[in-house]
A and B are shown apart, each in its own frame.
Chain A
Amino acid sequence: MPLSLSDSTWYPIASAEDLPLRHVYQGQLLGRELAVWRADDGNVNVWENRCLHRGVRLSIGINEGGELKCQYHGWRYANRSAGCTYIPAHPADAPSRRIENKTYPVREAYGLIWSAANSDLPFAPFPGAESGDWFALRPMPVNAEPADVLTALAGLAPDDQPADVLPGMGLRLGEVTYFVQPVDANRSVIRGLLAKRPENEAAALRAHNETLTRLRDRLERAAARKPAPAALQPTFDKVSVELSTMPDIVIPRGNTMPVVVKRKWQTADGVVGFELAARDGHLPTFQPGAHIDVHLPNGLIRQYSITNGPGELMSYVIGVKQESASKGGSKVLVDTVREGDVLAISEPRNNFPLRRDATRTVLIAGGIGITPLLSMARFLDKSALPYELHYFTRAGEQVAFRDELGALHGKVFIHTGVPRSEIATSIATTLGDWSRAQHVYVCGPSAMLETVRVTAAAQGWPDEAIHFEYFKNDKVIDDSTAFDIELARSAMTLHVPSGKTILEVMRDAGLTVPSSCEQGACGTCLTGVMEGEVDHQDVYLNDSEKQSNTCMMTCVSRAKSARLVLDI
C-alpha cells in the first residue's frame, strides 16, 4: 500500500536517548521533517521543522530549556504550544498576533519517541507493551520502501517460528520487537526493542546492528534494481491572512476558557497562590509580564499577572493579595474559591512586555507586584541574561514565592522592613546612572511606581527605559466633549452629551454591554471602532493599539471627531 501523508498511525521517530538535555533532534516521518526536543520539564515537543518567519530549520535552533530559539533571527517558541513569545527585532513589542508553529502529537514510551501525522487516532500501546522493561536498539536507516523493509524483517524469522505482526508496521521476532519508521516513500528506519535490558549492552547492540546492516545491504541492492517510488510531497500550511499582512494590530477579544483550581496555598502572610490548570492539554502561550482576566463567581472580573517561567503551560500560577478592605474582588477568590473549582479566565494579554535586548535589567517589586516580575526573572534566567530583582516587603513573612525566588540564578535582593522614608534612597542606589541598553521594570503600589519613575528620571533614565503597568487609571478623565455614536450592528445612532460616558449612553438606550472596572484599566468594555477618531483616555491599550484607531474603551474614552461608528 502506498504511503499517505495523512496516515494517522503512530510510528516511532526517535529513541528517548536521542533527546539529551538541551538538544534538538531532526526527525522525519512520512516525507516531513520534524524538530524534536525535550524541554527541561521533560516534555517532548515534535514540531514542523521550519521557523514560520523565514523557513529556517528549527532543528538547527537552540533549546533554551523552556523555549526553542531559531538560529536565524532568534525568534522564541514556547514549549508545548509552539507559540512565538519573543521577536528580537522588535524587543519592545509583545508578539500580539498568534504566531504558532505546527505541532504533531507525541508520546514517549518504551524507550522510543512516537508521533503521527495528525491527531486522528489516540496513541495505543502495541500488544505486550506493558510487560517489558524496554531497551532500544540502534536505529538502522535503510534506503528502501517501508513495506519492503517490513517484509524483509519478517523474512528473518525461522520457518517454524513466524513473526507476529503488530499494528503500525511492527512485528515481533523472538526476543526483538521491530518497528519500521516510514521516513518517505523510499526511505525507512528500523527501530528495534528488546523486552529487557541485556546484561552486556554493548555486545547486544553490536550483534543486532550487524544483523540489521546485512539486511540493509540486501534491501538497498534490491531497491536499486527497481524504480524508486516518487517521494511524498508534504505542503506547508499557509499562515493566516492576519499574520501575512503586516502592521495590523489585533486585540484578543473576550474569549474565556475554563480552568481548574489545582492548588491553592498561602505563599506568604497576606498572599494566596492559585495554580490554575487547563482541563485538558495545555494553556495558551503567554509572554513574561502577561496577565489574565479571572472571572469571579460573583460576576466581577479581576486581572492577575502570570508568574510562570518560559514554556510552563500546563497551569498558570497567580498570586492574590488577601485584602480585608478589598470589596468583592480578591476577597471572593481567597474566601470562597477552593481547590477543584472551575473558573473562567481570558487568554493571556501583555501590557508589560519584557525586552530581552538589555545589557542590564533591573526588576523592582513592591508587595504583590512581585508576580509579573517573577515571570520576567524566570525568562531572563533561562536565557542566561543578566538581571537584578529587588523585592520590597514590609516584613519577612510577607515574602511570597520564596521557593521560586530561591531557584533563580540571578541576583535576587529581598528588602524587608525598609522604612518608607528610605525606599527612595534604596531605589536610587539600586538604579545607579543610566547607560545604553539598561531597562527597569517596576510593579507595586502607586507610591512605589512614582518613586521609581521620579528617581530614575532624576538619574538620567529616559522614559523608554522605565517600564511599568497600570492596574488602575489615575488619570483625570475629561468628559467635557459631546458627540454622536453610530452603532453599526445595532443600527442605532445615539448622542453622548458631556458628563456622560459612551457606556452609560448605550445602557440608557437599553443595550447590554459588558464592563468591569469602568476606569479604563481592565479591558472588559473593549469595542471595535469602524470610523471616526478616538480620544483615548484609558491605560489598557498600548500606544500602537491606540494609534491604530480601531478599538476603544467605551467606559472612559471619547471622540475627537463629531461622530464615531462602533462595531456594536
Chain B
Amino acid sequence: MESRKAKFIGETVLSGYAVVRQIPGAKMTSPIDPITADLWQVIAATDEVAIGVVETTLLLDQPIAITRDKDGLPVVWRRTSEARGDEIDPETIFDRLPVITGYGYIWTSFGNPPKELFPIPEYAEADRKNMSCGSIGLYVSAPRAVENFLDMGHFPYVHTDILGAEPHTEVKEYDVEVSEERDEVLATRCRFFQPRAALSATEGQEVEYVYRVPHPFCSVLYKSCPEDDSRRDVIAIFLQPMTEERCRAHLLQSMVDSTSTITDLRRFQQTIFGQDKPILENQYPKRLPLDPRSETPIRADKSAIAYRRWLSQKGITYGVIPMAS
C-alpha cells in the first residue's frame, strides 16, 4: 500500500480537556474494558451538529450530548438534563469529554485516547469527493457489523445485482495479515465478480478489494476504481457502539468519480447498508462470539477469523462474547 506513505493530514485535534474515566454515580450497565475506554469513538457527522444546539446520543451505554461552539469546534459531555434540540451556550459546559474531528465525524473517548485518529491518507487528496453517507442504527453489536463489512461471500445474496449476483458466488483465496507495527488487520488480493461495483460501473467486472481494520470498531475498504485503474475508491465504516448489542454505522466515501453527484453516491451506499441491516439484525447472538467453536468458519472467512483473534488478543470484551478462559 504505497499510498499509505503519504502524509496523514487530520482535521483538528483538540486537547487540553481533562480526561474523565468515569463520573461517580454514572450508570454503567455493561463493563467497558480499558482498551475500549481508551479508544476514540465516533459519535456524529460534524456537519449534522448545529452550532449552539444540543444533539444527543448513546455511547457505550452512556448518554452523551454534543454541540459546536461559535468557531464550529465540537463540545462533548456526559448528558444530564439536556434534550435534543435544546439551545445551549457551550461556554457553560465545563466537564467536557476529549474530542477530535476527522473524516467528517466527531469522535470522543471515556479514557485516555491516542493523540491522533488512525490514518486514511487518501482522504486528503484534493480531487476526491469526500462525503459522510449517513448514520444507520443497527440492532447488532459493532463487531458483528465490522465483520459483515469485511465479508465478500454475502454479496450475491444480500446485495443482489449490485455487489454480486448468483451464480458468481466464489470467494477466491486472499491474504490476511495482522500488522503488529500498525496494529491493524489487513486483507489483500480480495477479488470478487461484481455486476455493478460502483455507481460509475456499467458492466460486470472482477473487482479487487483491500480491507483494513485499523480500529476495533472501524474498517476501511479500498476498491478498484472504475474511472481510473491506477487509483482506488475508499469506503469506510465507523461503528459507534451504543450498547453491547446496538450500534450506529457511520459511513464515509472518498471517491474518484467525476460524474456522479454526491446525492447519488450517498444513495448508492445507503442502499447497500439498507440491505445489510435486516440480515445483521437477524444474527444471533448479537454480540460477536470470539470462541472459535461457536460458529463454523470457512476459508472465505480468513479476515473475520483474524479480526476475532485480534480482538481477543487485545482484550476487547465490549460487544463480544469473550473466550471462556
A53, B295: Cβ atoms closer than 8 Å: yes
Partner of B279, one of A53, A72, A247, A357: A72
Contacts of A195 in B (CB 8 A): none
Q: Quick one: closest B residue to A247, CB to CB?
A: B299
Contacts of A241 in B (CB 8 A): 293
For residue B320, give the distance in angstroms from its CB to the closest CB of chain A.
13
Q: How far is the CA of A424 from the CA of B324 in the complex (A)?
A: 62
Is B282's beta carbon under 8 Å from chain A? Answer: yes
Q: How far is the CA of A357 from the CA of B172 in the complex (A)?
A: 13
B279, A90: Cβ atoms closer than 8 Å: no
A90, B170: Cβ atoms closer than 8 Å: yes
Is B171's beta carbon under 8 Å from chain A? Answer: yes
A240, B293: Cβ atoms closer than 8 Å: yes
A73, B154: Cβ atoms closer than 8 Å: yes
Q: How far is the CA of A257 from the CA of B260 in the complex (A)?
A: 63
Contacts of B305 in A (CB 8 A): 246
Partner of B169, one of A50, A56, A89, A245: A89
A89-B298 contact, Cβ under 8 Å, with A74-B166, A356-B167: yes
A244, B292: Cβ atoms closer than 8 Å: yes
Q: How far is the CA of A385 from the CA of B167 in the complex (A)?
A: 9
For residue B325, give the distance in angstroms from its CB to the closest CB of chain A.
15
A246-B299 contact, Cβ under 8 Å, with A57-B284, A71-B158: yes
Q: How far is the CA of A74 from the CA of B300 in the complex (A)?
A: 13
Contact with B along A70-92 (1 / 0, CB 8 A): 01111000000000000111111
Partner of A74, one of B156, B279, B283: B156
Partner of A72, one of B152, B154, B298, B299: B154
For residue B145, give the distance in angstroms from its CB to the closest CB of chain A.
12
A55-B283 contact, Cβ under 8 Å, with A73-B153, A239-B293: yes
Contacts of B147 in A (CB 8 A): 54
Contacts of A238 in B (CB 8 A): 291, 293-294
Is B285's beta carbon under 8 Å from chain A? Answer: yes
Is B17's beta carbon under 8 Å from chain A? Answer: no
Contacts of A54 in B (CB 8 A): 147, 283, 295
Q: How far is the CA of A73 from the CA of B296 in the complex (A)?
A: 13
A50-B167 contact, Cβ under 8 Å, with A89-B300, A90-B300: no
Contacts of B167 in A (CB 8 A): 356-359, 385, 437
B282, A56: Cβ atoms closer than 8 Å: yes
Contact with A along B178-216 (1 / 0, CB 8 A): 000000000000000000000000000000000000000
Is A243's beta carbon under 8 Å from chain B? Answer: yes
Contacts of A385 in B (CB 8 A): 167
Max count, chain A CB within 10 A of own CB: residue among B154, B289, B305:
B154
Q: How many A-B residue pairs have CB under 8 A?
A: 103
Q: Quick one: closest A residue to B286, CB to CB?
A: A55
Q: How far is the CA of A239 from the CA of B167 in the complex (A)?
A: 29
Q: How far is the CA of A60 from the CA of B284 in the complex (A)?
A: 13
Is A236's beta carbon under 8 Å from chain B? Answer: yes
Is A169's beta carbon under 8 Å from chain B? Answer: no
Is A99's beta carbon under 8 Å from chain B? Answer: yes
Contact with B along A374-401 (1 / 0, CB 8 A): 0000000000010000000000000000
Q: How far is the CA of A272 from the CA of B284 in the complex (A)?
A: 48
Is B168's beta carbon under 8 Å from chain A? Answer: yes
Contacts of B299 in A (CB 8 A): 89-90, 246-247
Is A52's beta carbon under 8 Å from chain B? Answer: yes
A244, B296: Cβ atoms closer than 8 Å: yes
A55, B284: Cβ atoms closer than 8 Å: yes
A244, B153: Cβ atoms closer than 8 Å: no
For residue A85, give the distance in angstroms from its CB to the closest CB of chain B.
14
Q: Quick one: closest A residue to B152, CB to CB?
A: A89
Q: How far is the CA of A245 from the CA of B296 in the complex (A)?
A: 9
Contacts of B296 in A (CB 8 A): 52-53, 99, 239, 243-244
Contacts of B170 in A (CB 8 A): 88-92, 357
Q: How far is the CA of A56 from the CA of B144 in the complex (A)?
A: 11
A244, B166: Cβ atoms closer than 8 Å: no
For residue B166, give the distance in angstroms from its CB to the closest CB of chain A.
7
Contacts of A71 in B (CB 8 A): 157-158, 279, 282
Q: How far is the CA of A53 from the CA of B153 in the complex (A)?
A: 11
For residue B46, give the distance in angstroms from its CB to the closest CB of chain A.
34
A72-B157 contact, Cβ under 8 Å, with A87-B298, A89-B169, A437-B168: yes
Max count, chain B CB within 10 A of own CB: residue among A55, A56, A92, A357:
A55
Q: How far is the CA of A357 from the CA of B156 in the complex (A)?
A: 11
Contacts of B301 in A (CB 8 A): 246
Q: Quick one: closest B residue to A59, CB to CB?
A: B282
Q: Quick one: closest B residue to A53, CB to CB?
A: B296
B157, A357: Cβ atoms closer than 8 Å: no
For residue B236, give the distance in angstroms from its CB to the closest CB of chain A.
22
Contact with B along A233-271 (1 / 0, CB 8 A): 000101111011111000000000000000000000000
Is B72's beta carbon under 8 Å from chain A? Answer: no
Q: How far is the CA of A33 from the CA of B167 in the complex (A)?
A: 31
A239, B166: Cβ atoms closer than 8 Å: no
A246-B298 contact, Cβ under 8 Å, with A57-B284, A74-B156: yes
Q: How far is the CA of A245 from the CA of B282 in the complex (A)?
A: 25
Partner of A244, one of B152, B297, B300: B297
B283, A56: Cβ atoms closer than 8 Å: yes
B279, A56: Cβ atoms closer than 8 Å: yes
A357-B166 contact, Cβ under 8 Å, with A56-B283, A72-B154, A90-B171: yes
Contacts of B156 in A (CB 8 A): 74, 88
Q: Quick one: closest B residue to A356, CB to CB?
A: B167
Q: How far is the CA of A240 from the CA of B296 in the complex (A)?
A: 9
Contacts of A55 in B (CB 8 A): 283-285, 289, 295
B295, A52: Cβ atoms closer than 8 Å: yes
Q: How far is the CA of A244 from the CA of B293 in the complex (A)?
A: 5
For residue A258, give the distance in angstroms from its CB to the closest CB of chain B.
30
Contacts of B302 in A (CB 8 A): 246
B169, A91: Cβ atoms closer than 8 Å: yes
For residue B11, give the distance in angstroms from its CB to the closest CB of chain A.
36
Q: Quick one: closest B residue to A246, CB to CB?
A: B297
Q: Quick one: closest B residue to A57, CB to CB?
A: B282
Contacts of B169 in A (CB 8 A): 74, 88-89, 91, 356-357
Contacts of A243 in B (CB 8 A): 293, 296
Contacts of A89 in B (CB 8 A): 152-153, 169-171, 298-300
Q: How far is the CA of A52 from the CA of B166 in the complex (A)?
A: 21
Partner of B295, one of A33, A239, A240, A359: A239
For residue B283, give the distance in angstroms from its CB to the closest CB of chain A.
5
B282, A236: Cβ atoms closer than 8 Å: no
Contact with B along A341-381 (1 / 0, CB 8 A): 00000000000000011110000000000000000000000
Contacts of B285 in A (CB 8 A): 55, 236
B283, A73: Cβ atoms closer than 8 Å: no
Contacts of B295 in A (CB 8 A): 52-55, 239
Contacts of A74 in B (CB 8 A): 156-157, 166, 169
Q: A52-B296, A53-B295, A356-B169 are known; give 11 further A-B pairs, CB within 8 A.
A: A54-B147, A55-B289, A56-B279, A73-B153, A74-B156, A87-B298, A88-B156, A238-B294, A241-B293, A247-B299, A357-B170
CB pairs A–B below 8 angstroms (30 shown) = A33-B284, A52-B295, A52-B296, A53-B297, A53-B298, A54-B147, A55-B289, A57-B282, A57-B283, A71-B279, A72-B158, A73-B157, A89-B169, A89-B170, A89-B298, A90-B170, A90-B298, A90-B299, A92-B170, A240-B293, A243-B293, A244-B297, A246-B297, A246-B301, A246-B305, A247-B299, A356-B169, A357-B166, A357-B168, A358-B167
Query: What are the 3 A-B residue pairs with the smallest beta carbon separation, nearest first?
Result: A88-B169, A89-B300, A89-B153
Chain B residues in the interface with A (C-beta under 8 A): 147, 152-154, 156-158, 166-171, 278-279, 282-285, 289, 291-302, 305
